[in-house]
A = this chain, B = another copy of it.
């Protein structure tokens, strides 16, 4: 059985004020094209179909279009679960009608939902669909007070929903969670993933999925296997923050043979516009080749730059962000802070100049500072005298 595993579409996402819908349509059309060519037996979307509970209507249209093409036109089932960004109830609407046409949407976490069962020449494959749910929801649903974090919630869910797997069938888990080896924190995160909870309570131990032939996960945006090659994130199909700059975006093509052995291959998707960092002085950046990419510009100029975004647009019309990178002296944090109240005005200025530029002000600069300060203080005295007169 061939399965396309994808997740974290985040339809309706806005990055730095820019709607990503056209970028999303661009990569999802490649996914549809791959499905048309390769004819997988199923497409999994492991949560966060939308970026928010009430997505913009063009995102609703896009999802409807993509699902209709894959399921109705190509006849390939889609198996999806709600993620932490989705509204369970809104995504669940109509799922009773749609499943018989091949769109299996688990929006609401149901106590006793049956797996989606598909067949190939080797027999049945059971897809166990666990939409994202807060531990408090799981605790109430199964009346299990021991559920206090996401790892316990997963244990509880797997006990109740997958406690008694049919040994004649192969089993795939579809879930949306923050899974790490041994429920430990890890590095595979991006700023575009919304934390599920704080203080480590969000991690689920990858070891919990030992009984499945494959575990198709969503939530983390980098494609990777979690300790074990059978437990995988497909990653998002697009970069949704500059912290994902180095990710290879795409989807997974998973082959499940008759013995339940799995091979997973990452298939790249080509974005309409890449998202990347550009670094240099303004003069250097303005000499770079023109590009439509979504660039985050880091300016290295030491002197002020006026209207940097406007000037950047001549080279990078879709620049999303410009920042100034201030040089930091390597020993800046080692020095004991001097107390301000022990310094005179000139000393304070000298310390400030050193802090910002890394070197003491020269003679001329100190003289300029002194004359400006004197003038300001003189003016202040005048102002006070006039106020007293009135």
Contact = CB atoms under 8 A, between A and B. Distances in A.
Interface in A134-179: none
Given A57-B89, A87-B57, A97 B96 contact: no
Nearest to A92: B64
Contact of A93 (B64, B89, B96, B100): B64
B97 A71 contact: yes
A63 B97 contact: no
Among A87, A93, A97, A100, the one with the most B-chain Cβ atoms within 10 Å of its Cβ is A97
Interface string A54-92: 100110110110011001100000000000000101101
Summarize A's interface: helix, strand, loop or mixed: helix
Interface residues of A, number: 23
Contacts of A57: 87, 89-90
Contact of A98 (B58, B87, B90, B97): B97
A100 B60 CA distance: 20
B93 A68 contact: no
A101 interface: yes
A54 B89 CA distance: 12
A94 B98 contact: yes
Contacts of A72: 96-97
A68 B89 contact: no
Contact of A89 (B60, B98, B103): B60
A102 to B, nearest CB: 8
Nearest to A89: B57
A294 B375 CA distance: 75
Nearest to A97: B98
Contacts of A87: 57
A89 B64 CA distance: 10
Nearest to A68: B96
A93 B61 CA distance: 7
Contact of A64 (B61, B68, B96): B96
A100 B98 CA distance: 9
Given A101-B100, A101-B101, A94 B64 contact: yes
B94 A94 contact: yes
Contacts of A90: 57, 60
A94 B66 CA distance: 11
Interface of A: 54, 57-58, 60-61, 63-64, 67-68, 71-72, 87, 89-90, 92-94, 96-98, 100-101, 103
Given A72-B96, A94-B98, 10 more contacts: A60-B89, A60-B93, A63-B93, A67-B94, A67-B97, A68-B96, A72-B97, A93-B93, A97-B98, A100-B101
* A-B interface, 10 closest residue pairs, ranked by CB to CB distance from nearest: A57-B89, A97-B98, A97-B101, A94-B94, A68-B96, A60-B89, A64-B93, A54-B54, A60-B93, A97-B103
